[in-house]
Amino acid sequence: MIHEDAEILALNKPSGLSSQGGRGQVHTLDELLWAFAKPGKARPRLIHRLDRDTSGVILTAKTKPGAGFLGKALMSRKVSKTYLAIVTPGAPAPKAGAIDRPLRREEIGREAYMRVCDPEHTDAEAAFSRYRTLAASPTAALLELSPETGRMHQLRVHVASIGRPIAGDVRYGGALTVDGHPAPRLMLHAQALVFPHPGGGRKRVETPPPEDMATLLQALGLG
């Protein structure tokens, strides 16, 4: 748990835990939220999702009005999300910028992928992300990523589209080793959320990268 008050509950989701049920997903964060339900009260409601292998901040609402308020804030882009990612090979050029490339969903067997596509494609969905390089070596870089839209796998596909896939992201071309160091899972971490609080004002919640990501950053000289 990162933060709790009368309206919200912010949690630090570990990598490997699905946010909600899907194909073959039995144990999910959504189910685990029953553990936070007060006697006679509903369980907290997820406001957004993170990919199964993404770690970090995830926000829930403890009341129905709070869930409605935060859901509207998310839809109207009043929620600011900041992620950290280890990418290869080295820093992108330019080292900071924006990626404005529409995405479309593609089903391959039982798996869903997102692809960069032409804006005129019938399935195109607008997708916009900002990035900046926080640290870099010749073979890897630590990027701060900020999505302004919320498409599935958006950050993963966007950075791969500029030739800098996220380490451990086998679905979109990420390396499984970086300078001889293993990247056994998607090295993407939801570091911070800034959002309008149902009780008034704006709230920031954040959490540092988990141990496996911090260890890899240190090994690469990026930490």
79-135 tens-digit pLDDT: 999 999 999 999 999 999 999 999 999 999 989 999 999 999 999 999 999 999 999
User: Residue 22: is its pLDDT beyond 60?
Assistant: no
On whether the CB atoms of residues 217 and 168 are closer than 8 A, the answer is no
pLDDT digits (tens, 9 = 90+) for 158-208: 999 999 999 999 999 999 999 999 999 999 999 999 999 999 999 999 999
Strands (E), the chain: 3-4, 8-13, 45-46, 55-61, 80-87, 96-100, 103-108, 111-116, 128-136, 141-147, 177-178, 181-182, 188-196, 202-206
Show Cβ contacts of residue 174 under 8 Å, excluding neighbours closer than 6 positions. 88, 160, 165, 166, 167, 168, 183, 186, 187
Provide CB contacts within 8 A for 189, sequence distance 6+.
54, 55, 56, 83, 84, 85, 209, 210, 213
Look up the CATH number of domain 3-219: 3.30.2350.10
Higher pLDDT, residue 94 or 40: 94
The residues assigned a catalytic role are 51
Reported as a single tens digit per residue, the pLDDT across 149-160 is: 999 999 999 999
d(CA 145, CA 73): 20
Which residue ranges make up each domain of the chain? 3-219
Dmax over CA atoms of the chain, in Å, equals 56
